[in-house]
Structure 1
Amino acid sequence: MGTKGRILLSILISTHYVICEECPIGWSYNAAFSKCYLFTNTLATWTSVREECQSFNGKLVEILSEEENNWLDDHLSEYSSPALQRAWIGYVDSDSDGDFEWLSGRKSTYTNWYSSPGTKECTILDHRAGGFWSRLPCSWTFQAICEQLPRIIIRRRSKCQRLSSTNNPIKMKYYISALN
């Protein structure tokens, strides 16, 4: 397609359609991080919740900034009873050498440890400790925070916002300027 055809297609799309980011029903969307989050309500070991996140086409959350940590901590308190408010995250010392990394293999540029690093292999975000992280045995049971990238969907302008089965709007953002 020539330049003229691409410009015409871009005008057609930007005039009649929007590109939306959507999360599955039950997941929370944050436009600042362009991620979908699921706060599980079952207690399980780290290995079990990692598999649960994978079964939803996600992974245990990777917290990349203080802003993301604070947002997750605030939502953890909303989605959990006061007795729970602790959740597994995807920061792990897989070979027990004291060198933690995200499940993706990414080294962390942001951490939020409650105390000095210990010898435990798995990490929780602990709302009861002010949003700090704690290292605990992977065999302990907590809920989890899963993440996945949102689905990109092109919709007619009037159909981008829709309601979930719980009547809570599924949050989306628009990229009209990216098409111009």
Structure 2
Amino acid sequence: MKWSVCQLLGVTLLSTVVSACQSGWNGYRDSCYQFNVVNKQSWSDAKNECHKVNAHLVVIETQEENDFLAAHLNGLISSTDIHHDSASSVWIGGSDDDTEGFWEWSDINKLILEYTNWAPGEPDTGGGDHDEDCISMVGRRHFQWQDRRCSESHSYVCEITEGSHAVG
């Protein structure tokens, strides 16, 4: 981790900048991201895979972060898959599994209130059975969010924030 100091209009700003991420990880602001598009997993298995590398399923807090992820995923998901919701879906860390309709970032127990990127008509009830409790970014929908059945197998993105083991 390196620290940068910026002088702007007489005010000193101190911010952290990711200096390097481990091989296989991509850095953006204060996080490193691992894009897992080959070995597709259920949402809970994807979450466990992230935990194995001291990470969590990605928590998306801004449009800029969503755009960064979408740009990387767009280059990784095959052109034939991008035209199908299921084949182009990528798990992120949001779920309403604990309480229907209350979406939260599961690993940090924070309600998703400040930034969302739901596709039109989402979240929905999955045909009325309330069985769509996990959030994916869907390539066919320009990586907007959609609620899906957690048991489905999809690609996923792990995130490590500053101070963790994947930051070099």
| TM more than 0.5 | yes
Moved more, 83-92 or 63-72: 83-92
Task: State the partner residue of 2:110.
Answer: 106
CA contact (8 A) 2:91 2:154 kept: yes
Letter in 1 for 2:66: N
Q: CA RMSD in A?
A: 2.3
Task: State the partner residue of 1:117.
Answer: 123
Task: State the partner residue of 2:96.
Answer: 93
Which structure has the highest strand share of the two?
2
Task: State the partner residue of 1:164.
Answer: none
Letter in 2 for 1:66: Q
CA contact (8 A) 1:23 1:150 kept: no
The total of aligned residue pairs comes to: 135
CA contact (8 A) 1:22 1:150 kept: no
1:77 pairs with one of 74, 78, 85: 74
**How many angstroms does 1:85 deviate by?**
3.3
Consecutive unaligned residues in structure 2, runs of 5 or more: 1-16, 82-86, 126-131
The ranges of structure 1 where at least 4 consecutive aligned residues each deviate by more than 4 angstroms after the TM superposition are none
Task: State the partner residue of 2:6.
Answer: none
User: Relative to 1, partners in 2 of residues 1:85 and 1:117: Cα closer, same or farther, differing over 3 Å?
Assistant: closer
Q: State the distance in 1 between where 2:123 and 2:68 align.
A: 23
Task: State the partner residue of 1:144.
Answer: 156
Rg larger in 1 or in 2? 1
Consecutive unaligned residues in structure 1, runs of 5 or more: 1-18, 153-170, 173-180
CA contact (8 A) 1:27 1:38 kept: yes
> What TM-score do the two structures reach when normalised by structure 2?
0.73
User: Relative to 1, partners in 2 of residues 1:64 and 1:96: Cα closer, same or farther, differing over 3 Å?
Assistant: same
2:142 pairs with one of 96, 110, 130: 130
Identical pairs, percent: 31
User: Relative to 1, partners in 2 of residues 1:96 and 1:79: Cα closer, same or farther, differing over 3 Å?
Assistant: same
**How many angstroms does 1:131 deviate by?**
1.8
Which structure has the highest helix share of the two?
1
1:37 pairs with one of 33, 36, 42: 33
**How many angstroms does 1:97 deviate by?**
1.8
User: Relative to 1, partners in 2 of residues 1:42 and 1:99: Cα closer, same or farther, differing over 3 Å?
Assistant: same
